With several copies, the nearest count.
Chain A
Amino acid sequence: MRIEVNGEPHEIAPETTVFALLRTLGVGDGPVAVERNHEIVPRAEHASTLVHEGDRLEVVHFVGGG
């Protein structure tokens, strides 16, 4: 199943949740925020939110900046 994460194509299994995706991406439990198709996916819903074919996700965190 093809999706896009942070502007790059990704292949994932069907029925994958956002939570599972983050795990497979090896994202630690450092604070990250997820946007799916321009909508925030609140942390509380990561485990219950399924990723669909063609979804465009942004996975971001804070970095130093001015």
Chain B
Amino acid sequence: MSDALHIGSFSLRSRLIVGTGKYKDLQQTKDALEASGADMVTVAVRRLDLNAPGGDSLMGYLREKGYTLLPNTAGCYTADDAVRTCRLARELGMSGLVKVEVLGDPKTLFPDVVQTLQAVAILVKEGFTVLPYTTDDPITAKKLEDLGCAAVMPLAAPIGSGLGIRNPYNLEIIRNTVSVPVIVDAGVGTASDAAIAMELGCDGVLMNTAIAGAREPLRMARAMKLAVEAGREAFLAGRIERRLYATASSPLAGVIGSKLG
């Protein structure tokens, strides 16, 4: 089936976007990305270690494999740092695609929505394709869309917490409120969490720790690939209504022993 996810001018076959951090080694990173089936992967912008310069071998691999790179501003706590980081990312990546992440505090890693809105306003003006990490607040999501974001990325739970979809109601409201793609970013812990996000009508899921931190990252990457597809298909298939009582799935008539068969 052709059910591509369109973000700005980018078209993704897979609705699973994965991070490239926290893996045991380069090989595990490559294998997990491969197993996840992701087209788009996030990368961070960091200072070159001047005591041991030289390109990161992972980046060569990602480019060669044709992954779409989504640079993030992880670690930034001000709009200014995020904007500077995005400009450096564009200089590095040629593409203007960026994940804007302006953090509010190091304990929750929740976004600072005020700073995020400021950074987004500047970056959109400079022609970036902006994907902002945000809270699950529908009003903020709408502001981000109105500013010109190519998608909104509400969190499901704190980054790396694995708590899953803590507030499906807000995600559903966001999905009903904005018309750009809604990517659930952060908080997914296991496969069913990703499936639930997609069943709510979200357009994609972004994760890193849930895969990299699993006992078997490769296997979890595969599980997440399947779960995102499962959730998407279930959403499109139109689930049955919930009811408190039962409805039989075998014919009622013709049971043996009954008087009138």
Q: Which residues of A contact B (CB under 8 A)?
A: 5-8, 25-35, 38, 40, 42-43, 58-66
A8 to chain B, nearest CB (A): 7
Tell me whether A30 and B59 are in contact in the complex, defined as CB-CB below 8 angstroms, given that A7-B260, A66-B74 are known contacts.
yes
What are 17 inter-chain pairs, A to B, with CB distance below 8 A?
A8-B50, A8-B260, A28-B55, A33-B45, A40-B88, A59-B47, A59-B50, A61-B46, A61-B59, A62-B45, A63-B44, A63-B45, A63-B46, A63-B251, A64-B43, A65-B43, A66-B74
List B residues 197-218 near A (Cβ within 8 Å): 207-209, 212
Q: How far is the CA of A21 from the CA of B259 in the complex (A)?
A: 20
Tell me whether A65 and B55 are in contact in the complex, defined as CB-CB below 8 angstroms, given that A6-B47, A7-B261, A60-B256 are known contacts.
no
Count, A-B residue pairs, CB within 8 A:
139
Q: How far is the CA of A58 from the CA of B46 in the complex (A)?
A: 9
Is B235 on the interface with A (CB-CB < 8 A)?
no
Q: How far is the CA of A13 from the CA of B174 in the complex (A)?
A: 53
Q: Which residues of B contact A (CB under 8 A)?
A: 18-23, 29, 42-48, 50, 53-56, 58-60, 69, 71-72, 74, 84, 87-89, 91-93, 159, 207-209, 212, 249-251, 254, 256-261
* Chain B residues within 8 Å of A27, by CB: 48, 53-54
* Chain A residues within 8 Å of B261, by CB: 6-8
Tell me whether A59 and B48 are in contact in the complex, defined as CB-CB below 8 angstroms, given that A32-B92, A65-B249, A66-B74 are known contacts.
yes
Q: How far is the CA of A5 from the CA of B54 in the complex (A)?
A: 16
